[in-house]
Amino acid sequence: MSVFEHRSFDGHEHLAFCHDKPSGLKAIIAIHNTHLGHALGGCRMFDYRCEDEAINDVLRLSRGMTYKSAAANLPLGGGKSVILGNPRQYKTEELLRAMGRFIDSLGGRYVAAEDSGISEADMRIMGQETSHVAGFSSQPGERGDPSPATAYGVFIGLKAAVEQRYKSSDLKGLRVAVQGVGSVGYRLAEMLAGEGAELWVSDVYAESAEQAAAELGATVVEPDQIFSSPVDVIAPCALGATVDDTVLSQLTAGVIAGSANNQLAYDDLGAALKARDILYAPDYVINSGGIIDVYYQRQGLPYARAHKHITQTVTETLQEIFQRSTSTGEATNVIADQVARRRFEPDTSAIDCVA
Ligand code: NAD
């Protein structure tokens, strides 16, 4: 298999295949672009069906991080890592420490944070082997997990999208379906319920969905029914590539706004959504709250600074994208890429990064 010819290869700077025999670790670290700064991005552990699926994921996710940091006006590049294997079965301290050593070997070109399948506690274990890890608290009282900041960014981004599409940001009575009520999805559901939205939820772990039903009055639907729920907004907060042709034919919602990375199964779906008058809030813009928070944490700055940055950047960038999409007729995901590229490409990066 050729990586340089891979369908998801996009001029990535660095791809490291990591194997540690004693712990059984198999992982891939991808650094997409470091024009704006060192690469920062999550470390995911997932039971990939095959190696190609993992390579595809890490190539797409690391590229997404370059665009996300640029769109968020952060002086950071894009990277991501994936550990191959079911986290519930194969995650051990030995394996996490081995991953920490591989991250360390890159000398700070890549800084890892938590992602699906990797917890704050896991990051703390990696942190025993390297300082190039972020997004976890090392002492009681310190903030760490970026999920609350991500959820907040998705919440205000969802409101901006609702305002654009339905001409009102009042969530009272708005019907929202949340796919995946994990670290981000559950918090988003709480905020939506707090402003009077009606919720539909699904999760492959039935207990999580049932908790949302019990605590937030959500209607639980089967995972394969969530996109056809009779709602105004869909919030994909599980894994990527969930919006595909089948989903497109089922949708009744006018807005897609959620936290998952790489929500569209392929890029042209953005145009298909626009043709159906479904407003898509580009994933890496709306879910950038977490990376913004992690950036401020590493600078030793308080959450209030991150919160202000999230509030301003997520809302303003989405509004710019929506307006340009309306005026040019181009899909929102295409416009988002243009906005991000304008910020990270070396010759044109006349940008307003935070200092
Ligand atoms: P998580 O693992 O805590 O939650 C994901 C939830 O989705 C889990 O409860 C899981 O059971 C459920 N799920 C998986 N497949 C599903 C399916 N087919 N149908 C319904 N539910 C399903 O992860 P998270 O941290 O909440 O992240 C959610 C998404 O947001 C991921 O795509 C992640 O990459 C992205 N994201 C997270 C952050 C963050 O700060 N945590 C930041 C940016 C992007």
Q: What is the DSSP string of 293-346?
A: HHHHHHTT--HHHHHHHHHHHHHHHHHHHHHHHHHH---HHHHHHHHHHHHHSG
Count CB atoms within 10 A of the CB of residue 324. Answer: 17
Ligand 1 neighbour 135 (Cβ under 6 A): no
Each residue's pLDDT, cut to its tens digit, for the chain (355 residues) gives 689 999 999 999 999 999 999 999 999 999 999 999 999 999 999 999 999 999 999 999 999 899 999 999 999 999 999 999 999 999 999 999 999 999 999 999 999 998 889 998 999 999 999 999 998 877 767 778 889 999 999 999 999 999 999 999 899 999 999 999 999 999 999 999 999 999 999 999 999 999 999 999 999 999 999 999 999 999 999 988 899 999 999 999 999 999 998 899 999 999 999 999 999 999 999 999 999 999 999 999 999 999 999 999 999 999 999 999 999 999 999 999 999 999 998 664 444 445 4
Catalytic-labelled residue, pool 26, 68, 80, 274: 80
Nearest CA-CA partner of 158 in 309, 166, 275? 166
Q: Which amino acid residue places its CA nearest to atom 31 of ligand 1?
A: 260
Place of tokens 């295949």: 17
> Ligand 1 atom closest to Cα of 240?
32
Q: How far is the CA of 181 from the centre of ligand 1 (A)?
A: 7
Q: How far is the CA of 180 from the centre of ligand 1 (A)?
A: 6
pLDDT score of 200: 98
Whether residue 80 lies in the annotated active site? yes
**C-alpha–C-alpha distance, residues 88 and 93, integer Å:** 13
Give yes or no for a contact between 216 and 189, defined as CB atoms under 8 angstroms apart: yes
Ligand 1 neighbour 263 (Cβ under 6 A): no
Q: How far is the CA of 208 from the centre of ligand 1 (A)?
A: 12
